[in-house]
Chains A and B, each alone.
Chain A
Amino acid sequence: MTQRKSYAVGTGLFIVLGFAALAYLATQTTSVANVSQGPSYDVTTQFANVGQLKERAPVKVAGVRVGQVESIALEPGKEVADVTLSIDKKYGQIPVDSVATIYTSGLLGDQYVGLQYGNAKQYVKDGGRLALSKSTEPLEAMLARFFGAGAAADDLGGTYAVKARFSNVGALSPGAPVKMAGVAIGSVKSVQADPVKLDALVTLSIDKKYDQIPDDSSAAVFTSGLIGSQYVAIQPGGSPDMLKDGDEMILTQSAMQLEDLIGKFLVNGSPGDKSGGKSSDAK
């Protein structure tokens, strides 16, 4: 009889332990743990782009969680996302001119809505609305801004081709932008090695609307940012004649090699472009 009692108790313990483990898994390690318990109120706001924001994503003030995203819907007939935020009642003092911004936590992290308080004396009420919001920015746009390169304008209304010779193009590849004064005016059509002159022949397609480029302008291969992609920069000259389709640009400056650059920096003088005579480098 005692033995029977012991296994009955043990079985009971086992069942309790099993359910406790299940309850722990379900409530502490899943998104259930993030569901706010207390009463909450809804605030709506609008974003031009919600990116990867999901429902139940956290809403934070000063990095502290104050609520969650209740729903995300497209405003009918507009290219705007309506986002409803469910905020805990105890954080009831959010100024009406607060700014809602979509942030990303870490590189791989999830997105959340951050609120920066404004200065208004009025607080947003249940069903209220935050008028000020900042959307997510696609990573591409951010990177492009960081590296300053931007993409070449892809929709070009007709182009004309100009050739340029470089003794060294570095990592320039077809499709790289051609810029004048930092603005993309065309793209690199092809990069070929000249078997006779032993240099690189680069063909640039330049937008037809930029047809007022003097024919003594110089072309240089630049790198945007430290690890950015390379592009061709055009420095306008002073000649009254303009570049035409099929022309070749005489003045070029090759890609700067990091090794050369460091050498220059160290000995305060370039060892000279070894192939300098090939293309009259504009230095």
Chain B
Amino acid sequence: MSAQTQRNVVTEALAQIGNCGLFLLTILKSVPRSFRYGRETVRQLWFVGAMSLTIIMTCGLFVGMVLGLQLYYVLSIFGGTAASGTVVAIAIYRELGPVVTALLFAGRAGTSITAEIGLMRATDQIAAMEMMAVDPIAYVVAPRFLAGLVAMPLLCSVFCALGVFGGHLVGVTWLGIDNGTFWSNMTANVDVWKDVVNGVIYKSVAFGAVVSLIAVFQGYTTPPTSEGVAYATTRTVVASSIAILALDFVLTAFLM
């Protein structure tokens, strides 16, 4: 019995991943058609991107500030507090920026996408669109997916900028690291391709694609019940978090 259940769980998970991949192909196929609904994409970009700015900026600031504090403490052991600007920037660009932004994005935007599409499914709005010959993939799913794809790198950039500002605030303004040393060390050691492009852009685009795909997929395939929508929303957060962290390792290994 237990072995049977075990296999069901495994096959179910595999089927989920397979369906998710097929769903991605469907979305990509309908992307040209969704350009007709460009206004909808802009509205989604407003919702998942611009509306997420507050949380992203606040979190970026605090992540930068806490890094500044911790690094000041650790580096002062070695008398190397001058390097804290470099370490703040590299840590944020390479890891914390993309990963924390993606986790926040999954919690802030991914859940609401899943809940919205799930409720459309549960209240038969999706079916109604099909009846009216409106492709729900092109009208509902693809704009949200594209918006997530575009919003993530922009949010991540804002997060990183605020993070560096937070590190500067704590390190230079409060703890008294020399301003010039802080910046010159940073500009001397941070590379635009290896750190900014690989971290802030490549990673966040990949995370944006994964989180958006999981969110729209969970919403679109939810069982049409209130319990189903609740479960799908939870699964969006869980699956996104695992996917982000696992993908982060793989991407880091490739982009190193």
Do B192 and A18 touch across chains, with their CB atoms under 8 A apart? no
User: At the interface, yes or no: A32 with Cβ under 8 Å from chain B?
Assistant: yes
User: Which of B79, B158, B191 contacts A21 (CB under 8 A)?
Assistant: B158
A106 to B79, CA, bound (A): 10
**B40 shortest CB reach to chain A, Å:** 11
A31 to B181, CA, bound (A): 14
* Given contact pairs A8-B42, A17-B53, A107-B79, A25 touches B157 in the complex (Cβ within 8 A): yes
A31 to B194, CA, bound (A): 11
* Contact indicator per residue, chain B 20-53, by CB within 8 Å of chain A (1) or not (0): 0000000000000000000100110111011001
A10 to B158, CA, bound (A): 15
* Given contact pairs A29-B187, A32-B192, A21 touches B50 in the complex (Cβ within 8 A): no
* Contact indicator per residue, chain B 60-89, by CB within 8 Å of chain A (1) or not (0): 000000000000000000111011000001
* Given contact pairs A11-B50, A14-B49, A22 touches B200 in the complex (Cβ within 8 A): yes
- A contacts with B: majority SS: helix
What chain B residues lie within 8 Å of A107 (beta carbons)?
79-80
**B54 shortest CB reach to chain A, Å:** 11
User: At the interface, yes or no: A74 with Cβ under 8 Å from chain B?
Assistant: no
User: Which of A11, A18, A106 contacts B82 (CB under 8 A)?
Assistant: A106
User: At the interface, yes or no: A30 with Cβ under 8 Å from chain B?
Assistant: yes
What chain B residues lie within 8 Å of A30 (beta carbons)?
186-187, 190-192, 195-196
User: At the interface, yes or no: A33 with Cβ under 8 Å from chain B?
Assistant: yes
Interface residues of A in 1-32 (CB under 8 A from B): 4, 7-8, 10-11, 13-15, 17-19, 21-22, 24-26, 28-32
User: At the interface, yes or no: B160 with Cβ under 8 Å from chain A?
Assistant: yes
Interface residues of B in 76-115 (CB under 8 A from A): 78-80, 82-83, 89, 93
User: At the interface, yes or no: B120 with Cβ under 8 Å from chain A?
Assistant: no
User: At the interface, yes or no: A109 with Cβ under 8 Å from chain B?
Assistant: yes
**A183 shortest CB reach to chain B, Å:** 34
User: At the interface, yes or no: B119 with Cβ under 8 Å from chain A?
Assistant: no
Interface residues of A in 49-96 (CB under 8 A from B): 57-58
What chain A residues lie within 8 Å of B79 (beta carbons)?
107-108
What chain B residues lie within 8 Å of A159 (beta carbons)?
none
Do B53 and A7 touch across chains, with their CB atoms under 8 A apart? no
* Given contact pairs A11-B45, A26-B196, A30-B192, A109 touches B185 in the complex (Cβ within 8 A): yes
Do A21 and B160 touch across chains, with their CB atoms under 8 A apart? yes
Do A22 and B153 touch across chains, with their CB atoms under 8 A apart? yes
A51 to B194, CA, bound (A): 23
User: At the interface, yes or no: A194 with Cβ under 8 Å from chain B?
Assistant: no
What chain A residues lie within 8 Å of B82 (beta carbons)?
106, 108-109
A15 to B41, CA, bound (A): 13
User: Which of A11, A17, A19 contacts B46 (CB under 8 A)?
Assistant: A11
Interface residues of A in 97-132 (CB under 8 A from B): 106-110
A63 to B47, CA, bound (A): 50
What chain B residues lie within 8 Å of A17 (beta carbons)?
53, 154, 158
User: At the interface, yes or no: B137 with Cβ under 8 Å from chain A?
Assistant: no
User: At the interface, yes or no: A218 with Cβ under 8 Å from chain B?
Assistant: no
**B158 shortest CB reach to chain A, Å:** 5
Do A29 and B190 touch across chains, with their CB atoms under 8 A apart? yes
User: Which of B43, B151, B164 contacts A25 (CB under 8 A)?
Assistant: B164
* Contact indicator per residue, chain B 172-204, by CB within 8 Å of chain A (1) or not (0): 000000000101011111111001110011000
User: At the interface, yes or no: B161 with Cβ under 8 Å from chain A?
Assistant: yes
Do A26 and B192 touch across chains, with their CB atoms under 8 A apart? yes
What chain B residues lie within 8 Å of A13 (beta carbons)?
50
Do A110 and B188 touch across chains, with their CB atoms under 8 A apart? yes
User: At the interface, yes or no: A34 with Cβ under 8 Å from chain B?
Assistant: yes
A160 to B93, CA, bound (A): 61
* Residue among B83, B93, B151, B158 with max Cβ neighbours from chain A (10 Å): B158
Interface residues of A (CB under 8 A from B): 4, 7-8, 10-11, 13-15, 17-19, 21-22, 24-26, 28-34, 57-58, 106-110
Some 9 contacts from A to B, beta carbons below 8 A apart, are A14-B49, A15-B49, A17-B53, A18-B157, A19-B154, A22-B157, A25-B196, A29-B164, A29-B183
Interface residues of B (CB under 8 A from A): 39, 42-43, 45-47, 49-50, 53, 78-80, 82-83, 89, 93, 150-151, 153-155, 157-158, 160-161, 164, 181, 183, 185-192, 195-197, 200-201
Given A25-B200, A31-B187, A32-B192, output 10 extra A-B contacts at Cβ < 8 Å: A7-B43, A8-B42, A14-B50, A14-B151, A18-B154, A18-B157, A25-B196, A29-B89, A30-B195, A31-B188
